[in-house]
Homo-oligomer: A and B are copies of this chain.
Amino acid sequence: MEDVARLAGVSMITVSRAIREPAKVAPATLARIEAAIRRTGYVPNLTAGSLASSRSRIVGAVVPTIDNSIFAETVRGMSEVLEAAGYQLLLGQTAYRADAEDSLVQAFLGRRVDGMVLTGIGHSPATVRRLRAAAIPVVETWDLTARPIDMLVGFSNRDAGAALGRHLLARGYRRLGFVGGAEERGRSRYAGLAAAVADVPGATVLRQELAAGTSYKDGRAAILRFLELPEPPQACFFGNDALAIGALMECARRGVRVPQDMAIAGFADLDIAAEVTPALTTVHVGSRQIGEEAARLLLARFEGRRVAPRIRDLGFRVVARAST
């Protein structure tokens, strides 16, 4: 930067201004500085800038995983909005391990990220304490609570589970099955389903809880376990679309007709849900919008704007397709 300043015949601070707020520099000076930058190949050191200004222009995001997953779209949406505003995304994946979130959050805070996006509303007390102490904007996502750490963008997993349950019951199914991972949001979906079932006399629900971080294969295995029962469920609700599609494929393979012999529903409305045959009934939750909105809330805060309300319920929509 000193070289650039010398070459352009100005002081360092003017170079700094030319880069960050070109409007405040005289056009002629600006041109000289730009020429000098080009000639020297100068790349501003944003680390030094962050230290001096105590704003890093980095946002940390913690998600369970991004492969064949509903969270990939959230990260995508977030990343696009942030990049357009000149912010960068520091990505951390927990693989559904609770302690991983804690250490990621600590690492991100050490980097002095300007804001943080978390998945879900269940965090260790230490994490919550650290985030509050850091006094940076935080957005929790993919769930709903009345008392978020700071801001929240999501929907009610419980209500979504209940809505899907009512859909199945309305179609006449009475013996229901549920398959989900051992994680908070999956459990909420089950709780909603169970509540819907409790409202209908004679309706029952059987539950399989798998390890967290499930995929197609697990869905196949789960549906097989149901089909082997003397009295299998008539309709099965899977905690995510990957599980449901695995199950759907297994049914196709075995000649189990969907939905006549076994109805199947998923969750999250991945692109592929609409493409399989029969098309998968699922709950659309706007994965991408969650990411975009979370990023927008952060940007608003960075620019000093008030964010109200701090809780954004993006809702959900039961998408009834041929599989139920």
CB pair A66 B68 closer than 8 Å? no
Given contacts A51-B51, A76-B65, A275-B220, contact A46 B110 (CB under 8 A): yes
Is A191 part of the contact surface with B, judged by Cβ < 8 Å? no
B residues within 8 A CB of A80? Answer: 93, 95
Identical copies in the complex = 2
Selecting from A83-91, A159-167, A181-189, A304-312, the interface stretch reads: A83-91
Contact with B along A206-220 (1 / 0, CB 8 A): 000000000111001
Is A270 part of the contact surface with B, judged by Cβ < 8 Å? yes
Given contacts A43-B130, A68-B72, contact A246 B275 (CB under 8 A): yes
Residue in contact with A51 in the complex, picked from B48, B75, B111, CB distance below 8 Å: B48
Query: How many residues on chain A are close to B (CB under 8 Å)?
Result: 58
Is A98 part of the contact surface with B, judged by Cβ < 8 Å? no
B residues within 8 A CB of A271? Answer: 68, 215-217
B residues within 8 A CB of A204? Answer: none
Residue in chain B with minimal CB distance to A61:
B91
CB pair A272 B245 closer than 8 Å? yes
A76 to chain B minimum Cβ distance, whole angstroms, is: 5
Is A293 part of the contact surface with B, judged by Cβ < 8 Å? no
A290 to chain B minimum Cβ distance, whole angstroms, is: 13
Is A143 part of the contact surface with B, judged by Cβ < 8 Å? no
Bound form: Cα–Cα A14–B72 in Å: 42
Is A252 part of the contact surface with B, judged by Cβ < 8 Å? yes
Enumerate 7 A-B pairs (CB-CB under 8 Å) in ascending A order. Answer: A43-B109, A45-B112, A68-B72, A69-B72, A80-B93, A80-B95, A246-B275
11 extra interface residue pairs, beta carbon distance < 8 Å, beyond A51-B51, A66-B76, A88-B90: A45-B110, A46-B107, A46-B110, A47-B47, A58-B111, A65-B76, A68-B271, A79-B91, A83-B93, A216-B275, A249-B275
